[in-house]
A and B are shown apart, each in its own frame.
Chain A
Amino acid sequence: MTDRRDFLMKLGFGAGVAGLATQSAASLRSLVPNVSYDAPTTVKLGLPLEFPDGLKFLPDQRLFVFRQGNVFHAVSAVCTHLGCTVRAEALSQPEEKTVNGAPLRLTHRFLCPCHGSTYEGDGANVSGPAPRPLAWYHLEVAPDDGQLVVDLAREVGREFRLTVA
């Protein structure tokens, strides 16, 4: 049986609990960011002709850009295991490999300093804890000034090539 006194006590207690719960929820919610001030994902990398033949590492984008003549492709330097930046190691003898039906000349391999994952020159994970190959990103030529543009939000298959006219 609930009398008035009991009811009021429960009401007061419940109001206190509800108040505290709301305060806690609001405090926690305030810690979830509503705006992310990330760097833009589409970045101009410079004129294609300024890239050396072979490999260029772009630390700001954590990106390897490969050039072979007028053909370009870009491979991420972020290890798929726990996000360290992998390092490129030049092969003594370049290898030819067919990746996703497209021929590719492998000049380097990639090693991760944190947990020892290794990747082939096309980004395929070969040993260590890495669960996936390194990501390939979309490249294009900016229509306004002809610079190479990478889209870090747009992963592409390993057959992707950008041929600059």
Chain B
Amino acid sequence: MSTTAKPIPAIPSAPNVHPKALWSLKPRSDRESGDAVVSNFLLHWFPAKVFKASLDWTYSFWLGTITSALFLLLILSGLPLLFLYVPSVERAYASVKDIEYVITFGSWIRSVHRLSAHLMVAAVFLHLVRVFLTGAYKNGTGRGQRRQWNWVIGVGMLLATLFLSFTGYLLPWDQLAYWAVTVGTNIASSIPYVGPAVRELMIGGRTIDQPTLIRFYVLHIVLLPGLLAALFVYHMWRVRKDGGLARADREALMRERVEEPPARTKTYTLLGVARGTAPTIRSTTLEAPHRTVNAVPDLVRRAATAVLGTIAVISILSTLVRSPLEEAANALVTPNPAKAPWYFLWLQEIVTDTTFHIGSFTVNGAFFGGVILPGLLISLLTLWPWLDRSPASATGVWFARTRLRQNAVFLALCLVVVVFTIVGTFCRGPYWHFYWPWESWPEIPTRI
């Protein structure tokens, strides 16, 4: 055995072999910075270099990152709840009551889960609004980009989030749960011809009972989170494939107008591009070094700030906000008023207002407002990238002048949803009558 200190051998040149097992969040060189991305599993989906502009807090508001942080929190807080909750109509309510009042930290964990869910609905919605208003579903450079498909996946994830919320708030099997299932499945039942069969499949019979609870439970804990996770992974992969945030496209487009002086980049050798083992890519990130930063640490630091910030806010809020639990599910008494959670109140408002008569023929608002209208809205939302005829220069910029009209239409629709939500939340009293928030509700006996 030799004890003499030998010089460290040269880095082996075999492709895909990285000499260092560990990586640093404080890299001293571009080389080390790139190594972190290439050799670390959690960072492997980051690019080596990112545009400074893409990292701006005020461009994306990091709403996607916040949403995924909330999803992470939902999984983490859902795990202990899985051990404590019993999906049986006889015991579900009592088990949630135990979580709320008996189990140590139970009410905090439940509050984390509930608040994350509420905020996730809001964050997903705001993320969608941001992507629309910045035209981020458009292909700015057009070079092999398919951003429109990421928009479609995003709409799918919005629906998955809403279904997760719906299946989640009925698990406590309290009055809110029972009547939400009643109304929700009757909306499905209002579809002509197939409706009753669809409802029977949803609730596992003709009456809301144990088969209903177990179906929604399995959807809530396995199928929908799995679907959402799969879509999330694909969503992130597509962002990379499409060249990062849409704002990067602008940088690429601008580059064609403003010539950058050639600059030395080390990333080529790192990725093996120079050796000719990979296709040569014209990458703006490599050509405009002063407008880019290393993903490690700049991107990592900001992503961590967004994620840890979200976790901190939820953790603190959850100590302050208690989760409500209504009376145990009672098939005999409908609460008055019976309100859905806030993010469905605009739908409740719509199904109230859309029953109409054509001669002797009546169209139930449940079908028109509960199925047709939301279906049209979702279809329109999904197809919008193909309807948007604005120029590529409107990609990745807030309120582009060329997209003025569609932004206005979109915001008007959003406003309708928001106003209906506010009316449903604050202005609807017993028997769904309209009351101003400052008006008091009349005394109505709770039974009959």
Q: Which residues of A contact B (CB under 8 A)?
A: 31-33, 36-39, 57, 59-60, 62, 81-85, 87-88, 111-116, 118, 128-132
Nearest-neighbor residue (CB-CB) of A39 within chain B: B207
B413 CB–A CB distance under 8 Å: no
18 more A-B residue pairs beyond the given contacts A83-B186, A131-B364, with a C-beta to C-beta distance below 8 A: A31-B215, A32-B201, A33-B204, A38-B207, A60-B332, A81-B364, A82-B187, A83-B189, A84-B182, A85-B333, A87-B431, A114-B337, A114-B348, A115-B348, A115-B351, A129-B365, A130-B355, A131-B362
For A83, the chain B residues whose CB sits under 8 A away are 182-183, 186, 189
Report whether B355 and A81 are in contact in the complex, using a CB–CB cutoff of 8 Å.
Answer: yes
Report whether A129 and B334 are in contact in the complex, using a CB–CB cutoff of 8 Å.
Answer: no
Partner of B179, one of A36, A84, A87, A88: A84
For A128, the chain B residues whose CB sits under 8 A away are 352, 355, 432
For A33, the chain B residues whose CB sits under 8 A away are 200, 204-205, 211
Provide the bound-state CA to CA distance between A130 and B362, in Å.
10
Highest count of chain A CB atoms <10 Å: which of B183, B209, B433: B183
For A82, the chain B residues whose CB sits under 8 A away are 182-183, 186-187, 190, 351, 366, 370
Nearest-neighbor residue (CB-CB) of A58 within chain B: B332
Q: Which residues of B contact A (CB under 8 A)?
A: 179, 182-183, 186-187, 189-190, 200-201, 204-207, 209, 211, 215, 332-338, 348, 351-355, 362-366, 369-370, 430-433, 448
Report whether B352 and A129 are in contact in the complex, using a CB–CB cutoff of 8 Å.
Answer: yes
For B433, the chain A residues whose CB sits under 8 A away are 116
For B352, the chain A residues whose CB sits under 8 A away are 115-116, 128-129
Subset of 28 A-B contacts with CB under 8 Å = A33-B204, A36-B206, A37-B205, A38-B205, A38-B206, A38-B207, A81-B364, A81-B366, A82-B370, A83-B186, A84-B179, A84-B334, A87-B334, A87-B431, A87-B448, A88-B448, A111-B431, A112-B431, A113-B432, A114-B183, A115-B348, A115-B365, A116-B432, A129-B351, A129-B352, A129-B369, A131-B362, A132-B362
Provide the bound-state CA to CA distance between A132 and B364, in Å.
9
Nearest-neighbor residue (CB-CB) of A62 within chain B: B332
For A85, the chain B residues whose CB sits under 8 A away are 332-334
Provide the bound-state CA to CA distance between A82 and B371, in Å.
13
A-B contact count (CB 8 A): 102
For B206, the chain A residues whose CB sits under 8 A away are 36, 38
Report whether B363 and A115 are in contact in the complex, using a CB–CB cutoff of 8 Å.
Answer: no
Question: 5 tightest A-B contacts by CB?
Answer: A116-B432, A59-B332, A113-B336, A129-B365, A129-B355
A99 to chain B, nearest CB (A): 18
Nearest-neighbor residue (CB-CB) of B330 within chain A: A59
Nearest-neighbor residue (CB-CB) of A28 within chain B: B201
| Majority SS at the chain A contact face | loop
Provide the bound-state CA to CA distance between A83 and B352, in Å.
13
For A84, the chain B residues whose CB sits under 8 A away are 179, 182-183, 334, 338
A76 to chain B, nearest CB (A): 14
For A60, the chain B residues whose CB sits under 8 A away are 332
Provide the bound-state CA to CA distance between A128 and B200, in Å.
27
Partner of A57, one of B187, B432, B448: B448
For B432, the chain A residues whose CB sits under 8 A away are 112-116, 128
Nearest-neighbor residue (CB-CB) of A33 within chain B: B205
Provide the bound-state CA to CA distance between A108 and B432, in Å.
19
Provide the bound-state CA to CA distance between A85 and B366, in Å.
16
Report whether A131 and B363 are in contact in the complex, using a CB–CB cutoff of 8 Å.
Answer: yes
Provide the bound-state CA to CA distance between A116 and B338, in Å.
10
Provide the bound-state CA to CA distance between A32 and B196, in Å.
12
A117 to chain B, nearest CB (A): 9
Report whether B431 and A113 are in contact in the complex, using a CB–CB cutoff of 8 Å.
Answer: yes
Provide the bound-state CA to CA distance between A39 and B207, in Å.
9
Provide the bound-state CA to CA distance between A132 and B201, in Å.
25
Nearest-neighbor residue (CB-CB) of B367 within chain A: A131
A53 to chain B, nearest CB (A): 17
Partner of A114, one of B201, B209, B215, B334: B334
Report whether B338 and A114 are in contact in the complex, using a CB–CB cutoff of 8 Å.
Answer: yes
For B205, the chain A residues whose CB sits under 8 A away are 33, 36-38
Nearest-neighbor residue (CB-CB) of B363 within chain A: A131
For A57, the chain B residues whose CB sits under 8 A away are 448
Highest count of chain B CB atoms <10 Å: which of A32, A113, A115: A115
B1 to chain A, nearest CB (A): 56
Nearest-neighbor residue (CB-CB) of A61 within chain B: B332
Nearest-neighbor residue (CB-CB) of A114 within chain B: B338
For A132, the chain B residues whose CB sits under 8 A away are 362
Nearest-neighbor residue (CB-CB) of A85 within chain B: B334
